[in-house]
Structure 1
């Protein structure tokens, strides 16, 4: 903000022309590059900081120390409309008389509040605190707010669509279920899935019109997609008689003809554990034993004796 010295920088308001740059604010220096070659360099005058005027140290304003301005904490109210996306920018043009001394000026969010527009909540006002200066004879710059979307623990956003994951039991996947989805605006969505419409692992279902609102048209919304995972029961959840009764309710098995012959071998399936190498080690030992037995068999190739 403007200092109490009214941008004079001194108590008396007096200043004199800088002798180093003669009031131009620029100093010219020459550098020898080689025989008959030189370079002219223009730099800002260090004595007057490029202003062309110098204020006596004893006459400097005690508030601004001759800089003619003071830092000011400015609070801006930023309206974040519904449906705005990550990296979308909100501009505060220079007519606000704010000059940010550097790009990426430090700021802090004070609080948020809901705003109403056309009878419904359509934006969130964010109060942001900036440290800026209104410098004399400098064109005010712009303040650009770049939105960063915070990750949600339940919902994932892709464009105007939302995605969630839900887990159902095998019984629910086969016989239907009721499910409650609490939306981000605290509304409860009751999802009813009828019996007979089977849910398979990895299936994706859609709830139309429950996604993110479209920017500048909050009454139009994307979709909410639900990805399902199915939890199967443990191996001992039913006895043999119950399994036979259950099989009568399920579609029939595929036909299988048992092959015959000496090259057919019956094996068992075991639980897989990538850290357990005992099965592979046992098989390798069996192969090694077969090799030793073959090497000692009659009729094998023997080394020639000299």
Structure 2
């Protein structure tokens, strides 16, 4: 089982954004690879801290994590708050949080040392995926065609002559206080330390081409409308030896013809005739896992709720399945034949047709209370 993100950073669940950042910086400096060379355990803690910070520093991700835990980012195929991050991911996204603690830079191939070349991450792509209630209940593998920027075959890079591959330009000025050294990101290469040497004629200035790719997305059961999943590395490529961006998948739930979702529970309106309510009957109803037959006892009252345990939506947080609540509605005909009218007129004074609610015949408010408890 994955460790709790709050426990990794040693903060409370009510921690502010500033407290989260401070806690992450403390952990990152403690387990930084430059401070712990060759220590794989420290490297693992460094990655865990970065993963926790990636989620908790983002208000939307933090909200989903607080509600669903790690299951909010499950699904394989690169899903996760930050589980697919490598060292380049971490330094490209959070390198600035270390300030000058490690000599002011992270090399493209190393983790420190005075070089200023930065690792660039490609831009993220966003798509929306519509899912039926059955797909949400059972989980589904989707194959989606995505247009993304990819490094064109034949594109080569050379060392930037302006910064000599460092990604930064250092200037020394003489002032009344003495010689002052300042460093700034190289404007020629944007901090990459390299520029395009040659590229195909149909590629853009960075050596990229837009191409269509089929991406497999494993969507776990129990996702909710508006939830966002991540497929690592399936966004746009980055120039040079950069890291590809991510594909962000927004979930959209399609309305169901007969079922209404409420959290992990489902609601179904079942209409029966007066004769069926009096005599009892059995009905076949639809669920997200197939059809089931239920028995309606004789003397059924309109408004009765039948609870089918575990026939709802699986909890994305791993707490089992919700229920299917069947609402029984007795259908009253709006027009009658002469014979039918005479029958009901005859029965109107019959003692069996007089309302006599019993204790188990709960009021509307009691039923609502039971439904949400």
TM-score normalised per structure 1: 0.49
TM-score normalised per structure 2: 0.41
Q: Which has the higher helix share?
A: 2
Structure with the greater relative contact order (CA < 8 A, sep ≥ 6): 1 or 2? 2
Structure having the higher Rg: 1
Q: Which has the higher strand share?
A: 1
